[in-house]
Structure formats: structure tokens, C-alpha cells
Amino acid sequence: MTEKQQIKLVVFDWAGTTTDFGSQAPVDVFDRTFRQKGLVFTKDEINAPMGMEKKAHIKTMLSTERGRQLWQENYSRSWNEDDIEEVYQCFEANLRTVVAEYAKLIPGVKETVDKLREMGLKIGSTTGYTAEIMQYVLPVAKEQGYEPDCCVTPDVTEYSRPTPFMVFECMRRLNVFPPKLVVKAGDTVMDILEGKNAGAWSVGIIKGSSVVGLSEAEYNALSEAERKELHEKARKIYMEAGADYVIKDITELPEVITKINAELAK
């Protein structure tokens, strides 16, 4: 008798998905780091590659037409790989000082994870942060009641999103296969692509996301009409990236998994 096909593993992102409402820590630290180098980017420009490994994020920003222009204006030359490394080291140093302060759980995370565990699911996690940075985040999340079964960082797999290798590493560590029994849930286009490239189900979460890009206070201050407009914009971004499902709030995820299980049972 063959085993029933149903979701066995959910792989969450961190900042903007389970912790750090609006993914404010990396945005603030990127802003601070670039300003220290004499470069001023908008919040939207900083958010555009969010979800990537952070050195790749820096390189992506500086590879844009505006990034190249800002560097040329400040340094009278084009940037090189040594410059990328220097900016990255500055970013990491800045991040170490503040990342734990931003590790507050997004509302609904603990209750959702508890429900998923009751459903018999394993909980994995991937991130654009390094293992060193996650040492500051993991204990703070644990104090609040959230502790995934594994946390995979890009320095472990050598490749970050949108490659699937961090998801594959979660699957390896937790002995879950095939990929169609895995859900990847996150708050960036890179999260959606990571899941799709792994052959898993991809779910975009709107509330608290870097796609919306607002702090909790800013989000709560919105009118219903403003909130609805932002939700529709975020939904479109996720769907264009190939998301299988888009949910407003993380608490809707167990219901989505029930729907996916019904699909798998057909």
C-alpha cells in the first residue's frame, strides 16, 4: 500500500515572514551602509532584490544603471569586486549590532507553526542572512516560542536564492521528499522563485512582507482602502513570480495546506 501523498514540510523565510515585520532590519542596515559609502538609494530600490544573499544583493543594486551612476559620481571610477567585498563587510558589521532588536515575531507566527505541527508537519527555514548573523536571531525567536527544525543559510549551501539548494538542504536534513510534498512560504519574489525552482509549492505572504515594505506601525495606520490597494499590488507581484497561492496573513497557511493536500489526493 502506497503512503498517502500530503505536505510534510513547510520551509519559512525569516525577516518579513516570521520575524521583523516589513523586513526592516536589512532595509535599515542597507540604507545605513550605503550612506556611509556616500550612496543614497530609495527604500524601493533597496527592497527590489530582497531575499537574496546579502553580498549578491549589494552587487545587484550596484549593477543597476543608478547604482553604477552613484558609484561613478562618488568615486570617479567603476566599482570592482574588492569594493563589493568592502561594502558587504560594512553591512555585516552594521547588521550584527541591530539584528537581534528586529527579531520580534510577526503576529500569528507562533499560533500558525503550532497548528502546522499539530497537522504533523516539519518546519524548516531558509534565509539570506549568514549562519553567523542567525546566531543572534535564533535565540530571540526561541524565547518567543518559535524554533524551526532546521535553519539553512546561503554560506552553508554556497548558493542563495533563487537557487533551490537551501530548500533541498532542509529536505535532506529532515528526510522529506519528493519536492511536491514541500511548501515554501515567504515574503519576497526570491522566496517564490526559490520554491518554484525546488519543485515545491510556493506561497507568498502579504502582511509583514518586504513586498509591502511597511513597519507594523505604518501598516496599522493605513486605511482599509490603502491596505487593500497594497494587498492587490503585492498579490500581483507574487503571482507574476509564479506563486501557487498568495495569502494575506500567515494564519491562513494551514487552510492553504489543506487545499494542497486535496490537490495531491486527486
The CA distances from residue 133 to 12, 69, 189, 228, in Å, are: 17, 31, 22, 34
Contact yes or no for 181/6 (Cβ under 8 A): yes
DSSP 181: G
List of long-range contacts for 108-111, beta carbons under 8 Å, 24+ apart: 108/249, 108/250, 108/251, 109/18, 109/19, 109/146, 109/250, 110/144, 110/145, 110/146, 111/251
As annotated, the active-site residues are 13, 54
Give the C-alpha separation, 168 to 163, whole Å.
Answer: 10
